[in-house]
Each structure stands twice: as structure tokens, then as C-alpha cells.
């Protein structure tokens, strides 16, 4: 009698050109970019179980390929955390003696860790109780309509297992999930009050800036300048010049000026630079560090994302800017 799983393995290898020396562990259909079509993710391992390989396909064409060390625990959820319709990857990877929980973004066709964290489970059977979120207990990430996660910060929490604490983080924040626990005794007895924050704001809050002054200063210089862009403020008035709005971000050293002008509103904000890299700068309102503005660079394009703008115009979007 034929092995059905083996047949599927062979069929998928032939259809998607998966290397013959890899064994397919799973094949999923997941919407990764918000369009009506689902994409295919094939996860495979080599014969020695040294590495895991992920192949992401859209319309039968390979768009991403990720390779990482094999682990007995390997789970992921894809969630749009910044409103651009491109989903970030929430990964849980490790072994019985230690598991890492992290959020990844896809940058230049590679997955880049954005935030490592501790997981908290909210189980409706145990109201008001904070539980440790084990991988098999999790069903989904808690995320509100404003793309804000539920998080608890500034907890001096000690973990006994082996896990990663990256150098650029001063702590692992608690991030909340929904699910049903199989270990109701594994409670987190003490935790600071949870709050709703965007991913960018959380990253900024836990960032460890120690020893990065010179690098940051060098990155800052390349971002100095004036960034401007137009966007359609009133969709029904695309043929009328008054239907268009203008965005301006002027960056000068460690501060910046944001301005949004349209027929509907005229807004100004004083910003401060929170963090810079060669391909991204994060700014925040001087009087509200949770309100962040992120400009990312992709070749010669600059893309602005901001929850403040989304709330102002009533839709989630990103805005292409030109540097002058």
C-alpha cells in the first residue's frame, strides 16, 4: 500500500523544485501580503537535521528562502503588525530546555529579528491570571484595531531556561497571546500593568543604547534632510488639487519637524530621533514617545509609516517620500 504522505512529498518536490536531499516537514497555504490569494510555505529539513529550510512561493514562484538551525520546537504565526499588509513573522523556536520567542521582519529578502520577548497567555478560563505561554498552548497574538500589541514593560523577570537576550535589548518585554493552557500552575505572580503599544514603540522602549553612540552618530548624518511626499487625502476628489495632502519631515541632528497639510487639516509635530540604522530611522513625538514615525530606505525610495497619520486620515497606509 502506498504511503500518501510520501506521495505528497514527491509531488511537492517536483512542483516546487525542492532539493531532493531535503525532507518536507509541512506545506501550508497562508496569506502573507493581504491580497486575495494565499501563498504556499514549504518547510523542509536535511537528512542530518542540522538545518531547517523554508521556501515561500507566490503564484508558484519562489519569493523567499530562509535557512536556520533545526529545532524540535518550531512554530510561527504571520501577523501584520504595522498596517502595511505585509505580515511579520512571530516565531517560537528551541528545545525542551529552552525556547526563544521573537518577531521577525523581512528585509532585503532576509528575515531580520526585530524583538525578542517573553510570552504571556490569557486563558478565558482563568480571568485575571497571567500564565506562561507554552508553544502548544498559543492560538493567536493579541492585537487591537490600531495594530497595537498588549505588552508589559520593566519587569525584572528571571528565566531558568536557555534563551537569547540580544545585546540591543535591555529586557525581554512580556507580549500577550490568547490560548488555553495545559499547565495552569505556571503563573506569573508579579507583572507591571499591561498596556497597548505599537511594535515600533515597544522596540524603542526596550532598546539598549549602550555602546552604540558612534554608530548611531554616523547613521544620523545620512538621514539629515527634508523629506516630502503627496498623498490623496480625499479619495472622492482625486481630480481636484484640494483633494491631495502634503507630508513633510525635516530631520536635523537628533530632532525633526513633521508637518501634514491638506484641505482637511494642518498639523505640526516636534519629533525626536529614537534610533537610526543604515536603512531605517525611528522618530517619536517629543511629548509622546509611544507615537512613532518610521522612515525606511529601500534603494532610492523612502517609505514613511505612522500610526498617528493612520488615525488622522482614517486609514492604514504607508507614504512614499522624496529626500531633498
Q: How far apart are CA 67 and CA 297, in angstroms?
A: 25
Q: What percent of the chain has pLDDT over 90?
A: 55
Q: Taking CA 228 as the corner, what is the angle to CA 277 and CA 284, rounded to the nearest 5 degrees?
A: 45
Sequence-distant (6+) residues with CB within 8 A of 251 are 223, 224, 225, 226, 227, 273, 281, 283
Beta-bridged to residue 276, according to DSSP, are 281
Assigned C-alpha cell, 113: 529579528
Q: How far apart are CA 317 and CA 3, in angstroms?
A: 47
Q: Is the pLDDT of residue 153 over 90?
A: yes
Comparing 230-244, 266-280, 283-297, which segment has the lowest mean pLDDT? 230-244
Q: How far apart are CA 271 and CA 254, in angstroms?
A: 9
- CA distance to 9, 53, 239, per residue, from 17 (Å): 11, 13, 48
The pLDDT value recorded for residue 220 is: 63
Tell me the pLDDT tens digit for each residue of 167-187. Answer: 889 999 999 999 999 999 999
The band of 1, judged by pLDDT with boundaries at 50, 70 and 90, is very low
Q: Is the pLDDT of residue 260 over 60?
A: yes
Q: Is the pLDDT of residue 308 over 70?
A: yes
The pLDDT value recorded for residue 210 is: 58
Q: With beta carbons less than 8 A apart as the criterion, state whether 153 and 196 touch.
A: no
Could you give the domains of the chain?
1-70 (3.10.450), 75-208 (no CATH), 213-323 (2.40.128.210)
The band of 213, judged by pLDDT with boundaries at 50, 70 and 90, is very low
The pLDDT value recorded for residue 216 is: 46
Amino acid at each position: 500500500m502506498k504511503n500518501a504522505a510520501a506521495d505528497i512529498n514527491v509531488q511537492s518536490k517536483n512542483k516546487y523544485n525542492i532539493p531532493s536531499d531535503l525532507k518536507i516537514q509541512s506545506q501550508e497555504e497562508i496569506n502573507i501580503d493581504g491580497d486575495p490569494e494565499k501563498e504556499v510555505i514549504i518547510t523542509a529539513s536535511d537528512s542530518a537535521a542540522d538545518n531547517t529550510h523554508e521556501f515561500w512561493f507566490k503564484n508558484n514562484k519562489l519569493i523567499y528562502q530562509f535557512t536556520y538551525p533545526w529545532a524540535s520546537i518550531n512554530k510561527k504565526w504571520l501577523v501584520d503588525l504595522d498596517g502595511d499588509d505585509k505580515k511579520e513573522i512571530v516565531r517560537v523556536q528551541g528545545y525542551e530546555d529552552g525556547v526563544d520567542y521573537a518577531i521577525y521582519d523581512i528585509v532585503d529578502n532576509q528575515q531580520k529579528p526585530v524583538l525578542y520577548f517573553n510570552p504571556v497567555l490569557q486563558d478565558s478560563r482563568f480571568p485575571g491570571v497571567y500564565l506562561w505561554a507554552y508553544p502548544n498552548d498559543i492560538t493567536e497574538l493579541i492585537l487591537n484595531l490600531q495594530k497595537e500589541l498588549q505588552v508589559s514593560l520593566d519587569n525584572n523577570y528571571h528565566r531558568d531556561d536557555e534563551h537569547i537576550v540580544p545585546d540591543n535589548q535591555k529586557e525581554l518585554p512580556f507580549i500577550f497571546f490568547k490560548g488555553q493552557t495545559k499547565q495552569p500552575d505556571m503563573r506569573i505572580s508579579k507583572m507591571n500593568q499591561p498596556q497597548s503599544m505599537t511594535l515600533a514603540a515597544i522596540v524603542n522602549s526596550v532598546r539598549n543604547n549602550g555602546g552604540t553612540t558612534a554608530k548611531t552618530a554616523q547613521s544620523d548624518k545620512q538621514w539629515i534632510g527634508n523629506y516630502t511626499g503627496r498623498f490623496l487625502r480625499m479619495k472622492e476628489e482625486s481630480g481636484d488639487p484640494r483633494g491631495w495632502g502634503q507630508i513633510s519631515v525635516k530631520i536635523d541632528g537628533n530632532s525633526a519637524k513633521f508637518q501634514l497639510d491638506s484641505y482637511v487639516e494642518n498639523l505640526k509635530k516636534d519629533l525626536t530621533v529614537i534610533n537610526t540604522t543604515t536603512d531605517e530611522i525611528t522618530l517619536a513625538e517629543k511629548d509622546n514617545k509611544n507615537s512613532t514615525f518610521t522612515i525606511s530606505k529601500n534603494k532610492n525610495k523612502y517609505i514613511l509609516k505612522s500610526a498617528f497619520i493612520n488615525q488622522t486620515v482614517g486609514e492604514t497606509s504607508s507614504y512614499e517620500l522624496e529626500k531633498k
